[in-house]
Amino acid sequence: MTLLPAFLRPPDRFAPRDRRIVLLMSVAAYLQGFAQAQATNTLPFARLSLGLTTGEMSQILAVTRFGSVLALAFSFYGDRHGRRAPFLSAFTILILANAATAFVPNPTVYTALQGIVRMTATAVGVLALVYLAEELAPTIRAYGIAIYGGAASFGAGTALFALPVAETEPEAWRSLFAASAIGVVFLPLLYSKLNESRAFRDPTRKANLFSALGGNHFINFWVFALISLLAAAFSAVSLTFALERLVNELDIETTRAVAVMLIGGTAGGIGFLLGGRLADTWGRRPTAMLGFTLSLAGGLGLYWLDSQPLIVVAVAISSLGSFAAVPALGAHRNELFPTSIRATAVVWLNTIGVLGSISGLAIGRLAIDEIGLTLTVSYLGAGMLLSTLLILLLPETRGQVLAGANTVL
């Protein structure tokens, strides 16, 4: 990392154990990102192949997001018995279910398998961030989460780079799902090298599934929940239909549309490292607010602008903001809760975020066919603005030490 400019370097040194856990989780993140991106990337092709309208596809994607609620089972087990087993189980199921989507015969099976993908991808993402938060030193915690986020984004970028394959024939989109099976090769390494989190202690008083929703953490939980809900409603529609906007509304050929997204996304990719450094030195709250503001501005630009060069700039600004917010929010939500309920609290927050995504897509189901994508995204942007302001209500947690706990606090 010494080759990076000073403003992108980690604020402190990574110990050998830090590097090991970041490397393992980053490989898992890359494979997760590649697998999870397929449903969104292949949307224009899978929609036509399965005989669905844009509104109907929005409805299916909303239904699949309900699978994320079931990730609570993985996190609940993780808070009571350890992080390792549920993480490994979820990652294995994620790879297999996404690969199996290549063979779906109808929309019903597609919905079921992608619901499983959503469930396990949520569990993998949450438990990976819990691992990183508990294993890494406070001075590099957000930066380590930034590397994880960057690896997941790189996996999604690889999936986007491969998308022109879907143009070669009507059913070629299925081969992109099948490619997820490459993750099976990584499983032996992950199973043999990943140890239990050092911060985890088998609690003498077991938390229940709803402990994180009340008690001493009531205010922080529900403020963060509202932030997640509003931000996810905007992001779900603006991200899901980005290629639909470029390919089917602006009549940009798929290869050029992919190039627009890749160039803009790559330019914004420095947001991960910049956001990680700022979150560890400047603070979680200001970094997240800056990220949300840029994400909103760029996201609206994507739907209001028609010039390809300006759309590239809009995508870059949106990506920079979204990526910068990832390490700040990832560290913040793990630091707000004790070890005994951390994973469950984070999955609850993620689940509420998923409800936000479902709400956004449900609004899309009703509004897109009536008023169009641009106005729909713009109205949802008002909620994103409110979520940015709500961050001010959360306490700053930069530098907080995460220790094991034997009781529910």
- pLDDT tens column, 214-233: 777 788 999 999 999 999 99
Q: What is the CATH number of the domain that holds 260?
A: 1.20.1250.20
Integer CA distances (angstroms), 150 to 22, 377, 395, 409, in order: 11, 26, 26, 33
CB neighbours of residue 196 within 10 Å: 12
Mean pLDDT over 362-385 rounds to 88
The model's confidence at residue 387, banded by pLDDT at 50, 70 and 90, is very high
Residue 214 CB burial class (10 angstroms; 0-12, 13-18, ≥19) = exposed
Rounded to an integer, what distance in angstroms lies between the CA atom of residue 103 and that of residue 387?
39
**Residue 261 is assigned to a structural domain of this protein:** yes
- Cα–Cα–Cα angle for 355, 380, 250, rounded to 5 degrees: 115
pLDDT, residue 83, reads: 87
The model's confidence at residue 169, banded by pLDDT at 50, 70 and 90, is confident
Distance of CA 241 to the CA centre of its chain: 16
**Residue 36 is assigned to a structural domain of this protein:** yes
Residues 6+ apart with CB under 8 A from 331: 133, 141, 142, 145, 279, 280, 284, 397
**Residue 406 is assigned to a structural domain of this protein:** no
Question: Tell me, what DSSP letter sits at residue 38?
Answer: H
% of the chain at pLDDT higher than 70: 94
Domain residues for the domain of 37 are: 15-393
Contact 8, 275 (CB under 8 A): no
**Residue 4 is assigned to a structural domain of this protein:** no
**129-153 pLDDT, tens digit each:** 998 988 888 889 999 999 998 899 8
* Number of domains composing the chain: 1
Rounded to an integer, what distance in angstroms lies between the CA atom of residue 153 and that of residue 268?
11
**Residue 1 is assigned to a structural domain of this protein:** no
**Residue 43 is assigned to a structural domain of this protein:** yes
**Residue 408 is assigned to a structural domain of this protein:** no
Region of poorest pLDDT, from 6-20, 155-169, 259-273: 259-273
Tokens of 96: 């297999």
pLDDT, residue 110, reads: 92
pTM for this model (two decimals) = 0.78
Contact 22, 14 (CB under 8 A): yes
**Residue 179 is assigned to a structural domain of this protein:** yes
Neighbouring C-alpha atoms within 13 Å toward the C-beta of 339: 25
Rounded to an integer, what distance in angstroms lies between the CA atom of residue 106 and that of residue 108?
6
Mean pLDDT over 102-125 rounds to 92
The model's confidence at residue 405, banded by pLDDT at 50, 70 and 90, is very low
**92-105 pLDDT, tens digit each:** 999 999 999 999 98
pLDDT, residue 378, reads: 93
Rounded to an integer, what distance in angstroms lies between the CA atom of residue 390 and that of residue 387?
5
The model's confidence at residue 71, banded by pLDDT at 50, 70 and 90, is confident
